[in-house]
Amino acid sequence: MSTAGATTRPRAATACGAVEGRPGPGGTAAFLGIPYAAPPVGPLRFAAPRPPRPWTGLRDAGAYGPTAPKAPYSPTFAALLADPVVPGDDCLNLNVWTPSPDPAAKLPVMVWLHGGALTRGSSAVPVYDGTAFARDGVVLVSANYRLGALGYGLFPDAPANRGLLDQIAALAWVAENIEAFGGDPARVTVFGQSAGAISTGALLAAPPAAGLFAQAALQSGAPEVLPRERVRALVRRMAALLGVPATAAAFAAVPLPRLLAAQEAASRRSGPLAGGPALGLVADPATLPEDPLPAAARSRVPLLLGWTSDEYRLWLAPTGAVRLLDRMGPLAVALARARSGKDRAALRTLRTALPGASPAAYAGQLLTDHRLRDPLRLLAGAARPAPSYVYEFAWPSGIPGLGACHALELGFVFDTLAVPEASWLAGPDAPQELADRMHAAWVRFARTGDPGWPAWDGGGPPMVFGAPRREGEGEQAPTPPARP
């Protein structure tokens, strides 16, 4: 059962019941807020995801569903990163944008996992609107998943990696239902940025996710697990602040506002570059039985992966940490080199690549090489049994000080530069031509498994989107193919 039209509302049948979406530009259709699992409330707050309850009649799918419980960004980051809140318990939901909700269409599918350090973010961020992918012949799915302690806290009486289990449940929903929306369940590409990319890499290594997708794209995040004791330490900090035992049963009885406040207080000494107790994926026999980086490197899944030129600037520039590191001078560089485990040769190479850069730039690049680029290069290594396509996003933001920072490429990948929230990070004059090229590469990868440049050989330069750092460094992005 599927219908679509310029004036009628599109409908599609899922395993749990029929849904009614909304028509979009160019004959596209959007179905928002469809539950893929039961609401994680009461005894299900810290349980593995359960199937959603079927419904009778026609379910309205015209608005984003509830977002996962989360604390807001600090004002500094809220000015740069949109993070809407949709209240409600039924937060394990997803959205589908499609060119044609026709089971015979057999179109490629892309499943988006949002970033946000596994503590923030949602599929309702306006920059993640999937209309441009649908316009270009791809069925785009975006999913919410549990965040923070609810999704990644480690407890003796609850399954580990619940947020990852949510993502696997969303992929299982896609496998069962996406044909009704015009998608081909055998042509699914899962992709994500930052924490979403870490999750995507973990899915490559998670036995329960095997066979649920055929390709993957990782933007500024590599598969990793945290030491179990590091995650337990943060849970114990929360428990001490709450005055309850460090168990899922005790945490489930705490009102969500108190739980989120304790999580924020316990996490203040942690950060993407600073380390410290944190919430994240852990090794686990049921979901991640081994280090996901080498396991993902052995996978036979074609990969598209890369980074931005100045990842660290999103974390350091808005907070004033860049100025602090510059005042520290050589000491900042020495501390960053020690923390990243880099030798003096690595620093000399960096100084050659970035002559005259500031101490903060050298320190930031050393740390982000360690956290992001080095593991992504290992993942893309030439020994993989499937091709890897590596990129670098180099266009600098129009916001002073941000450069080509973490998350800046998102409006380009989704071709949503016209969305007001995209300018919060990119500034007012982001080049649409670059968005055309980058978005087209992701569409081409979804369609063909080849984004339009040679597979990485383990040592060559990446594809560069935007102005390269030096004349002649890297190749230029391909001309986008004609839209269908």
Enzyme catalytic residues: 194, 311, 406
Hey, what's the torsion of the CAs at 14, 16, 22, 24, to 10 degrees? Answer: -30
Residue-by-residue DSSP string for 201-232: HHHHH-GGGTTS-SEEEEES-------HHHHH
Phi, psi at 337, each rounded to 5°: -65, -40
Q: CB of 244 within 8 A of CB of 253?
A: yes
How far apart CA 184 and CA 194 sit, in angstroms, is 27
**Biggest CA-to-CA distance, the chain:** 67
Report how far residue 144's alpha carbon sits from residue 287's, in angstroms, rounded to the nearest whole number.
19
Q: Are 444 and 350 in contact (CB under 8 A)?
A: no
**Who contacts 355 (Cβ-Cβ below 8 Å, separation ≥6)?**
none
Sequence-distant contacts of 322-326: CB under 8 A, at least 24 apart: 322/358, 322/360, 322/364, 322/401, 323/360, 324/360, 325/358, 325/359, 325/360, 325/363, 325/364, 326/358, 326/359, 326/360
Taking the C-alpha atoms of residue 25 and residue 256, their distance in angstroms, rounded to an integer, is 39
CA separation for the pair 16, 161 (Å, rounded): 26
Q: With left for phi above 0 and alpha for psi between -120 and 50, is residue 386 left, alpha or beta?
A: beta
Q: Where are the beta strands (DSSP E) in 90-219?
A: 93-98, 107-113, 139-143, 183-193, 215-219
Q: Return the residue matching tokens 């391909």.
A: 478
Buried/exposed 272-303: b ≥16 CB within 10 Å, e otherwise: bbeeebbbbbbbbeebbeeebbebbbebebbb
3-state secondary structure 30-50: EEEEEECCCCCCHHHCCCCCC
Q: Give residue 452's region: left, alpha or beta (phi > 0; psi -120 to 50).
A: left
Distances (CA, A) of 281 to 14, 97, 114, 160, 390: 31, 29, 15, 8, 24
